[in-house]
Amino acid sequence: MRDRRILKNKNVLLGLTGSVAIYRSVELARRLIEAGARVDVIFTEAALKFINPLLIESVTGRKPYSDTFQFPLSHIELSQNSDIMVVAPATANIIGKFASGIADDLLSTAFLAMPPGKVLIAPGMNWRMYENPAVQENINRLRARGVKFIGPEKGPLCCGEEGYGRLSDIEDILQEIENLLSDKDMKGFKVLVTAGPTREYIDTVRFISNRSSGKMGFALARIARQRGADVTVVSGPVSLRPPHGVKVIKIETTSELKEAVMCLIPDIDILFMAAAPADFTCKKEPGKLKRTQTISLELQPTVDIIAQVGRLSRRPFLVGFAAETSEDIDSAKQKLLQKGLDMIVLNNISEPGAGFEVDTNRVLIIDRDSVEPTELLPKEEIASIIIDRVLKKMMLAREVS
Ligand SMILES: Cc1cc2nc3c(=O)[nH]c(=O)nc-3n(C[C@H](O)[C@H](O)[C@H](O)COP(=O)(O)O)c2cc1C
């Protein structure tokens, strides 16, 4: 479940151009509408040859535009009334026109009336076209003026070839629109999030792990990135698509998690330890154990990563997560103090709709001075509340020092 509140009541001006990838823009328009945005669409002449505007009108509930001269001043009014202009797919031709300041149709004219920082371009074209120096030069010129780009991605293209040129994933485009529309109160912050479970191997194929899905960690990463932070996720094996614009380092075991965290930490301002590392490890047998004999495993506790971070003389703002089967505030507070954390987020995993695997959570946000309960909310809303708390605490600490 995605928290798309940022798009609610926003005015999005969607430019459609003559690329085969235009069929995917229908889904983009639909999902923007679903999130509560108002979507006005401008078709280029070429785009009109690919899809019928009736399809877009049915999705957006608004008549699309294409003719500069049908409504005088529509090129200015559409731009002025929009929070963001998104051109997806953007052809090599429209990128060239934007870069050169050509205004010979409604889309290119409206572009010139838009602040460059409020324009997101998602190119879609054959890889040879994309790699052409003229196209690259045009993209660089637009970037230098503050225009934002997303993609293209490498992958199978409509022409049957493969390479860079594929329109970005619609979910990634939506996330980038949200990133551009969000307040950037985390700009300048370097954030590290650990997410998901770890595995401790018994033999080559079997391991000890837990039910962590990584959803809470990925939600924190997505919201921190949306609010302008530079975000890295160290993730155990999960089946989630990483948030757009976030660096992901994949690990498997608890000691790999520790190594990654310790290596990145000197550069980090806030560390969210939302991963659920396996608490026990055992000696890994070579090969695959036969089921013919009874075996007993000797389990040793794994390294306590967060406590090690808590002992560092220079360390980031440190947020721990405790998954418990009761709301034991006293033991969470004890953990906070013993391990040198700045905050601990306690979730009662036995409560319906909270904890592992589900999209929602209800938590207690605990620091040295306070205990703040949240309602049962989507994990991304919980992430926003946690981040608000962290920023407030950091600000207070700065004022005091
Ligand atoms: C079937 C077909 C597919 C095309 N696909 C693309 C494409 O994916 N990307 C692109 O840049 N141009 C593509 N073109 C070329 C553009 O449609 C052409 O350059 C056109 O002038 C673009 O106009 P516009 O930028 O005003 O929409 C395609 C043309 C055809 C006939």
Q: In the prediction, which pLDDT does 184 show?
A: 92
Q: In the prediction, which pLDDT does 1 show?
A: 54
Q: In the prediction, which pLDDT does 72 show?
A: 83
Phi, psi torsion values for 348, nearest 5 degrees: -90, 100
The model's pTM: 0.85
Q: Which of 231, 217, 139, 121 is nearest to 184 (CA)?
A: 231
Compute how many other C-beta atoms are within 10 angstroms of the C-beta atom of residue 145. 13
20 Cβ inside 6 Å of ligand 1 = yes
**Residue ranges in the chain modelled with pLDDT below 50:** none
11 shares a domain with 56: yes
251 shares a domain with 169: no
Tokens standing for 353?
């709709």
Q: In the prediction, which pLDDT does 2 show?
A: 67
143 shares a domain with 66: yes
* One-letter identity of residue 324: E
Q: In the prediction, which pLDDT does 303 show?
A: 94
246 shares a domain with 315: yes
Q: In the prediction, which pLDDT does 351 show?
A: 80
Tokens standing for 32?
């923007």
Closest ligand 1 atom to 17 CA: 27
276 shares a domain with 140: no
- How do residues 292-341 score in pLDDT, each as one tens digit? 888 889 999 999 999 999 999 999 999 999 987 777 889 999 999 999 99
CATH number, domain of 120, equals: 3.40.50.1950
> How close is the Cα of 126 to the center of ligand 1, in Å?
10
> How close is the Cα of 77 to the center of ligand 1, in Å?
27
Tell me the residue range of the domain where 359 lies: 190-400
Does the annotation count 263 as an active-site position?
no
Mutate to test the pocket of ligand 1, among 45, 91, 126 (most ligand atoms within 8 A of CB): 91
Mutate to test the pocket of ligand 1, among 14, 17, 19 (most ligand atoms within 8 A of CB): 19
- Residues comprising the chain, all counted: 401
Closest ligand 1 atom to 90 CA: 11
DSSP of 100-141: HT---SHHHHHHHTS-GGGEEEEE---HHHHHSHHHHHHHHH
